[in-house]
Amino acid sequence: MKKVGIIMGSDSDLPIVTKATDTLKALEIPFEVHVYSAHRTPVEARDFAVNARENGFGAIIAAAGMAAHLAGAIAANTTLPVIGIPCKSSNLDGMDALLSTVQMPTGIPVATVAINGGANAALLCAQIIAVEDKELAAKLDAKRASDAAKVLEKDYERVFVAECDGEIAGFVHAERYELLYYPAMVNILGLAVDEMFRRLGIAAKLMAAVEDWARENDIKEIRLNSGIS
Ligand code: RP5
């Protein structure tokens, strides 16, 4: 798998870069981290960018604050995708770095994430590498699904969580009676949702959960409009 190169302008940017490295570690993507500054060590920054493709990198993250020209300087020396993280500094709350990073002139693109957006920078690199890597693409789908599950779990008063063999199988909204979420696997296998649920034997579990809830709440009629029946 291609590596991700992470360059930061100063070790004071490390707390932001750590969000990127944590994300890459979780996805088991190899990476290298360096401190190279576009203004303090311009030669080293340039050399890294010029040799990055040959050295097995697939994308580069450049994190810098203040007059943040690091991402642009790296991008000027490679045609690998460069993702810029504008880092927040004390005086201008990161607006200085945001504008310096995002406003690249035509011809040298830098994909700029949010101020201090270390995790998104890593996810964008992962998505770039996953274009040619099905296993990684599946991991990203699984992460999206699990992130969605975490949000929906917080809506526990209105959403049923149905489980199958310890895995989250789906969610049914208590007021709308809709299937809200199902694992990304359903999409990957290319099967219609209701067919997939039937095959996994989950429809019955979802229905049972809804019926329990309806009984407890003295609701006589249940309509499901998601195709699970
Ligand atoms: C930038 O200047 C660095 O990326 C850092 O965000 C900022 C301040 O650097 P230090 O003075 O903390 O080294 O080049």
Instruction: Write the secondary structure of 187-198 as one string of H (helix), E (strand) and C (coil).
Output: HHCCCCHHHHHH
Give residue 13 CA to ligand 1 midpoint distance, Å: 7
Q: Which of 148, 145, 83 is nearest to 109 (CA)?
A: 83
Atom of ligand 1 nearest to the CA of 9: 4
Q: What angle do CA 223, 224, 229 make, to 5 degrees?
A: 110
Atom of ligand 1 nearest to the CA of 97: 6
Q: Which of 12, 37, 96, 115 to mutate to test the pocket of ligand 1 (most atoms within 8 A of CB)?
A: 12
Per-residue CA distances from 109 to 104, 138, 160 (Å)? 6, 28, 45
202-208: which pairs have CB atoms within 8 A and are 24 or more residues apart?
A: 202/162, 202/164, 202/169, 202/170, 203/228, 203/229, 205/162, 205/163, 205/164, 205/169, 206/160, 206/162, 206/169, 206/170, 206/172, 206/179
Average pLDDT score over residue span 72-98: 96
Gap between the Cα atoms of 141 and 137, Å rounded: 6
Neighbours of 220 (CB within 10 A): 6
Give residue 64 CA to ligand 1 midpoint distance, Å: 7
What pLDDT is attached to residue 147?
83
pTM above threshold 0.75: no
What pLDDT is attached to residue 216?
76
- Residue with the smallest CA separation from ligand 1 atom 2 is 65
Give residue 121 CA to ligand 1 midpoint distance, Å: 19
Residue 173: pLDDT band with limits 50, 70, 90: low
Atom of ligand 1 nearest to the CA of 89: 6
**Which range is least confidently modeled, 61-65, 97-101, 216-220?**
216-220
Strand-strand pairing, 179-181 and 159-164: unpaired
Neighbours of 131 (CB within 10 A): 10
- Residue with the smallest CA separation from ligand 1 atom 10 is 10
- Each residue of 138-154: pLDDT tens digit? 999 888 878 877 776 56
Gap between the Cα atoms of 149 and 201, Å rounded: 20
pLDDT at 177 over 80: no
- Each residue of 181-206: pLDDT tens digit? 554 433 333 444 555 555 455 556 66
What pLDDT is attached to residue 191?
43
Give alpha helix (H) positions in 87-173.
95-102, 118-130, 134-154
Gap between the Cα atoms of 21 and 29, Å rounded: 9
- Residue with the smallest CA separation from ligand 1 atom 13 is 10
Q: What share of the chain has pLDDT > 90, as a percent?
A: 60
- Tell me if residue 35 falls in helix, strand or coil: strand
pLDDT at 208 over 90: no
Gap between the Cα atoms of 201 and 178, Å rounded: 18
Please check whether residue 163 is in contact with residue 209, taking contact to mean a CB–CB distance below 8 angstroms. no
- Each residue of 5-30: pLDDT tens digit? 999 999 999 999 999 999 999 999 99
Name the phi and psi angles at 55, rounded to 5.
Answer: -85, 10
Give residue 63 CA to ligand 1 midpoint distance, Å: 10
pLDDT at 68 over 90: yes
Which position has the higher pLDDT, 219 or 114? 114
What pLDDT is attached to residue 215?
75
What pLDDT is attached to residue 142?
87
Residue 218: pLDDT band with limits 50, 70, 90: confident
Atom of ligand 1 nearest to the CA of 64: 4
Give the residues surrounding ligand 1 with Cβ less than 6 Å away: 9-10, 12-13, 37, 64-66, 87, 89
